[in-house]
A and B are shown apart, each in its own frame.
Chain A
Amino acid sequence: MKVTVARSLEEALADPEAIFLAGGTDLMVGVNFGRERPEHVVSIRGLSELGDTSVGERVRIGGGVDYTRVLDALGEHSPALVQAARTIGSPQIRNAGTIGGNLGTCSPAGDTLPVLAALDAEVILRSPAGERRVPFSEFMLGPRKSARRPGELVEAVEWLDAGPSQAFLKAGTRNAMVIAVANLALVVDRARKAVRVALGSVGPTIIRALEAEDLARGLFEESGWERPLRPSQAAAARFGELAAGAARPIDDQRGSAIYRRHVVAVMARRALARTGEVA
């Protein structure tokens, strides 16, 4: 196995067959299990081109930014992503694992993925041919399958700042360091009058709960986008049902389909109540 420590984007992109190594928190697990035996590993850790973050009307996080830095850099911005980053692994994992790695692995349980979906983020991919922007809705194609081509780097993710009405919730059978049995991100972009709900770990890809989004948009229209939303119990329950209805969960060793569907409804209701309060 060949290992290259890339010092520039050009070096990182030189071999289209190479496997990138960022934090290694997914890749090395695969190697340990004997699932992956890469011929050529290119370490992209420390590449400054992947390390930038900026907040403003557009928020941009470099593909090489680890979760500890996400927590520091975003502060008040994009609170759902901050909440998701906080749930990931342990301090050690958050110090090593990156957004680019979460997108590179593209597991349905990846905790940042529903947030990126709910933020309607763009994934910025880089290859020797140049830059390519793929909306998240077209990025994830299946479990561990994405629109990223071999040799393409996740250079950054970018989205329009959607304001503070956001929530991320994750259910698991342990109080920390647990792979999501189900997770959910809700973003209410009050300025642009948009609601997006995305579900993780309850289907082969991240799932947008479109009917739930429609319902919520109606509720916000009714009560006023600039005002707190206090949905009736019935409306909240309906929102939860619609979100759960969008889920396509399976039974596996981490959880049952029936619980996954149930907890999606619970998380959706609570997320709506929380984001509704923040105006």
Chain B
Amino acid sequence: MPELRTRGRVGESVPRPDAPAKVRGDFSFGSDLVAPGMLYAKTLRSPHAHALIRSLDVAQAISMPGVRAVLTAADLPGVRLFSLHDPPDQPVLVGVGEEVRYAGEPVAVVAADHPEQARRAAAAIEADYELLPALTDPVEAIRAGSVLRELLIRRGDPEARAEVVVDGYYELGQQDQAPLGPEAGLAVPAGDGSVDLHVATQALHVDLGQVEACLALRPGAVRLHLAGVGGAFGAREDLSIHIHACLLALRTGRPVKMWYGREESFVGHVHRHPAQMWYSTGADRSGALVFVRATIVLDGGAYASSSGAVTANAACFGAGPYRVPNALVWSGAARTNSVPNGAMRGFGAVQTCFAHESQMDALAARLGMDPVQLRLKNALRSGEQLITGQRVTGAAPLEELIRLCAELPEPARSGHRLSLPGGAGNVAEAANVVRATGFAVGFKNIAYSEGHDDYSTARVRLERGPDGRALASIKTAASEVGQGVVTITQQIARTELGVEEVVSLPADTTVGDAGSSSASRQTWMTGSAVQLASRRVAEEVLRRAGPPARSLDAGQVLDAEGMALAPIELFLEEPIEREFEYHHRPTSGLNPEGQGDAHVSFMFVAHRATVDVDPEAGLARVVEVATAQDVGKALNPLQVHGQIEGGIAQGVGMATMEEIKQREGKILNASFTDYIIPTALDMPAVSSILVEEPEPDAPYGAKGVGEPPLISSPAAIAAALRAATGRRLGRLPVSPDELAGLAECEPDWEVTPGVSPSDGRRRQR
């Protein structure tokens, strides 16, 4: 008897349903949206990082051809502030008599018949500013009390002494998520005073709450629909065009399309927090860690956004995935006059991973120990405690990751000129090139932490399809941002329902909240909701079928022996629909000592980077990144590898080239001409091993996989570049100047690791 088994279940490399359309160019992204009679919107933004708006004159703009509306803060109907943060602190539009706090902050919005008319009208608005001093040094901001969040973790003896101590100072530049699709959406007024907003976002309901408050409409009068998302990586957690487009649509009674160009996008979304980190790490002569003390200063920019969670992550993961008996970690985000910083893949953990892993290498060098052995010696195991006192109860196969990653074969040398450092530039010669490797490990939390009630909702329906056979449909508000939540939830439904025909309905706010596509959480959260809703549907099929029906597979109702009793559709005269709201195990906040079970689960990762460097010319090429990743269970191995390669691409960028450069709070390189990201010639080979140790509580044991590839890959690349050059390389991205030994990263402030920088002193140079 052939085994009855549904195809496309969990564990299979099922291709994405949207892949053909995306490859052919048929996929409709947010910027492709159109509606009959739509208007085009444009934002006027402050050119100044900090200024008082003395006056705004829109008279000329409003009278220009094609212009249908010009709105300023005076036109706001509801709450004037929005934010991911509670209470909100970010103005929808900054009004007369109010202060703009970053260069690029919205001041007015225009809708016109043609985008060029909107652009010209925005330029014709006369804004008079009184310039104020811009606070751009985060340490100075913290000293002045301009702090978004600060916290301290104190564990064991914060003054512990050790036989071997290494101190280091590290910096990380401001990374952009660089999604290829900039912010875009279309607001369509419904005529009854309500509005439909189609928008590329990471979290429909998180947006909805903020938009509703600011539009002040009756409940249910704002509906959000997910538009095609061209990448997110954290850039779409905060609002962008949402409120502006809705306001203009409601004012004009016409659909309003709004999208940012690349230059505008750089001020239209948050970025990764730049960091300055002072570390001191102590160990005994055997290499066992005795203490970690660290001060982590993050530049939060002008508004709170996700700074709170980033500050906490930086602290919680600041000592690395190691057994650290004594810790003192101060972490704080400064409020400055920079474009706000917030969510980006791996937030908080990426910053401190670079520091703690650099420290581990320095320690290994001091001890004369192999860096891989030092990590193995200290690797955290399941059942052990973090510096927050939280015991890791789930899978923590870190030692295995380290061993497997270190054992992966090293890449061969390529003879091709283009594969030399500097690639097409033709500068390096094989004789000048040094090859080296570096190793790093990292970890991070999955899903929301610190007592957030984190949940996701799914509605699963089973009915007879057009061909009479069983057809399942899934309805959630989970944002498909390219990560593959649609594919995964379909695989889950197939597995639980035993039917192959599964469709996903458009994501919108007519179903309950799914939370954000962030924090590597959707497979776990929405995956669980779909799994449990599907199980309830399956139970109903079995109930209708009656004994001896025991399970569903391959479209059949099966008995206890796995024999087919009847096709599932036989029991679908009436469709079955079930909804499930899944909440993960509650977490707690951190107490004043920074102690608490703040996180639900952790994912671990190891990276080994191989680089070729032309030290004299200051040119480098990442040849390969090898990785072993703790995935719990690979529900779709193809997608896991996709996440790994994509995350490593961003890690290569972070380590070697990507940085938003600012002067006095103004971005100097707001385009892909000068904000450079890796090309195909910069992308290293990736070799990866997935370690599957099922996570209790998670659906099928699957952990999130999106962030780990970016957590320790930059640190591993930095380690390899150090090994190749012998230079300190305390800053990411590593500059050619540092590679060539022309410059070194030095702190502006003298700060004692573990102590607030308020007590620091400006360094004399």
Residue pair A266, B674 in contact (C-beta under 8 Å) = no
Does A172 have its Cβ within 8 Å of any Cβ on chain B? Answer: yes
Contact residues of A between 156 and 191, Cβ < 8 Å to B? 167-181
**CB-CB under 8 A for A174 and B427, given A253-B661, A258-B742:** no
CA–CA, A175 to B614, complex, Å? 12
Taking CB as reference atom, which chain A residue is nearest B738? A259
Residue pair B657, A171 in contact (C-beta under 8 Å) = no
Residue pair B424, A175 in contact (C-beta under 8 Å) = yes
Residue pair A259, B679 in contact (C-beta under 8 Å) = no
Does B617 have its Cβ within 8 Å of any Cβ on chain A? Answer: yes
Contact residues of B between 724 and 765, Cβ < 8 Å to A? 735-737, 740, 742-743
Residue pair B263, A33 in contact (C-beta under 8 Å) = yes
Does A267 have its Cβ within 8 Å of any Cβ on chain B? Answer: yes
Q: Which residues of B contact A171 (CB under 8 A)?
A: 422, 425, 427, 617-619, 736
* Chain A CB within 10 A, most for which of B422, B618, B661, B735: B422
CB distance from A182 to the nearest CB of B (A): 10
Residue pair A175, B742 in contact (C-beta under 8 Å) = no
Residue pair A266, B617 in contact (C-beta under 8 Å) = yes
Mark interface residues in B296-326 (1 if CB within 8 Å of A CB, else 0).
0000000000000000000000000000000
Residue pair B621, A267 in contact (C-beta under 8 Å) = no
Residue pair A270, B427 in contact (C-beta under 8 Å) = yes
Residue pair B736, A169 in contact (C-beta under 8 Å) = no
Q: Which residues of B contact A169 (CB under 8 A)?
A: 425-427
Q: Which of B418, B425, B671 contacts A170 (CB 8 A)?
A: B425
Residue pair A259, B618 in contact (C-beta under 8 Å) = yes
**CB-CB under 8 A for A254 and B674, given A259-B740, A266-B427:** yes
CA–CA, A86 to B417, complex, Å? 12
Residue pair A256, B425 in contact (C-beta under 8 Å) = no
Q: Which of A179, A262, A263 contacts B673 (CB 8 A)?
A: A179
Q: Which residues of A contact B119 (CB under 8 A)?
A: 34
Residue pair A174, B682 in contact (C-beta under 8 Å) = yes
CA–CA, A32 to B657, complex, Å? 24
Taking CB as reference atom, which chain B residue is nearest A263? B617
* Chain B CB within 10 A, most for which of A174, A175, A179: A175
Q: Which residues of B contact A32 (CB under 8 A)?
A: 261
Q: SS class of chain B's interface: helix, strand, loop or mixed?
A: loop
CA–CA, A32 to B736, complex, Å? 30
Taking CB as reference atom, which chain A residue is nearest B432? A270
CB distance from B409 to the nearest CB of A (A): 24
CB distance from A36 to the nearest CB of B (A): 14
**CB-CB under 8 A for A266 and B681, given A86-B424, A176-B424, A254-B674:** no
CB distance from A261 to the nearest CB of B (A): 9
Q: SS class of chain A's interface: helix, strand, loop or mixed?
A: mixed
Q: Which of A176, A180, A270 contacts B679 (CB 8 A)?
A: A176
We find that the number of chain A residues with CB closer than 8 angstroms to chain B is 35
Contact residues of A between 17 and 32, Cβ < 8 Å to B? 29, 32
CB distance from B414 to the nearest CB of A (A): 13
Q: Which residues of A contact B418 (CB under 8 A)?
A: 175-176
Does A231 have its Cβ within 8 Å of any Cβ on chain B? Answer: no
Q: Which residues of A contact B657 (CB under 8 A)?
A: 173-174
Residue pair B673, A176 in contact (C-beta under 8 Å) = no
Contact residues of B between 403 and 434, Cβ < 8 Å to A? 418, 421-427, 429
Residue pair B429, A270 in contact (C-beta under 8 Å) = yes
The A/B interface has a contact count, at CB < 8 Å, of 102
Q: Which of A29, A83, A175, A263 contacts B736 (CB 8 A)?
A: A263
Does B588 have its Cβ within 8 Å of any Cβ on chain A? Answer: no
CB distance from B623 to the nearest CB of A (A): 11
Mark interface residues in B120-147 (1 if CB within 8 Å of A CB, else 0).
0000000000000000000000000000
Q: Which residues of A contact B676 (CB under 8 A)?
A: 173-174, 178
CA–CA, A180 to B424, complex, Å? 11
Q: Which of B263, B661, B681 contacts A176 (CB 8 A)?
A: B681
Q: Which of A33, A168, A263 contacts B426 (CB 8 A)?
A: A168
Taking CB as reference atom, which chain A residue is nearest B677? A174
Taking CB as reference atom, which chain A residue is nearest B669? A253
CB distance from B665 to the nearest CB of A (A): 15
* Chain B CB within 10 A, most for which of A33, A90, A170, A172: A172
Does B567 have its Cβ within 8 Å of any Cβ on chain A? Answer: no
Does A135 have its Cβ within 8 Å of any Cβ on chain B? Answer: no
Does B616 have its Cβ within 8 Å of any Cβ on chain A? Answer: yes
CB distance from B678 to the nearest CB of A (A): 7
Q: Which of B736, B740, B742 contacts A173 (CB 8 A)?
A: B736
Residue pair A176, B682 in contact (C-beta under 8 Å) = yes
Does A87 have its Cβ within 8 Å of any Cβ on chain B? Answer: yes
Does B595 have its Cβ within 8 Å of any Cβ on chain A? Answer: no
CB distance from A171 to the nearest CB of B (A): 6
CB distance from A88 to the nearest CB of B (A): 9
Contact residues of B between 650 and 676, Cβ < 8 Å to A? 656-657, 661, 668-669, 671, 673-674, 676
Does A255 have its Cβ within 8 Å of any Cβ on chain B? Answer: yes
CA–CA, A51 to B674, complex, Å? 31
CA–CA, A87 to B418, complex, Å? 10
**CB-CB under 8 A for A262 and B661, given A33-B263, A173-B656, A174-B682:** no
Q: Which residues of B contact A267 (CB under 8 A)?
A: 427, 617
Residue pair A176, B740 in contact (C-beta under 8 Å) = no
Residue pair B425, A178 in contact (C-beta under 8 Å) = yes
Q: Which residues of B contact A180 (CB under 8 A)?
A: 425
Q: Which of A175, A177, A253 contacts B422 (CB 8 A)?
A: A175
Please list the residues of chain B having a beta carbon within 8 angstroms of any beta carbon in chain A.
119, 261, 263, 418, 421-427, 429, 616-619, 621, 656-657, 661, 668-669, 671, 673-674, 676, 678-682, 735-737, 740, 742-743
18 contacts between A and B (CB under 8 A): A33-B671, A83-B426, A87-B424, A169-B427, A171-B422, A171-B619, A171-B736, A174-B676, A174-B681, A175-B418, A176-B418, A181-B736, A253-B668, A256-B742, A256-B743, A259-B618, A262-B740, A263-B618
6 more contacts with CB within 8 A, not counting A253-B674, A256-B735, are: A83-B426, A172-B422, A178-B676, A179-B674, A256-B737, A262-B742
Please list the residues of chain A having a beta carbon within 8 angstroms of any beta carbon in chain B.
29, 32-34, 83, 86-87, 90, 167-181, 252-256, 258-259, 262-263, 266-267, 270
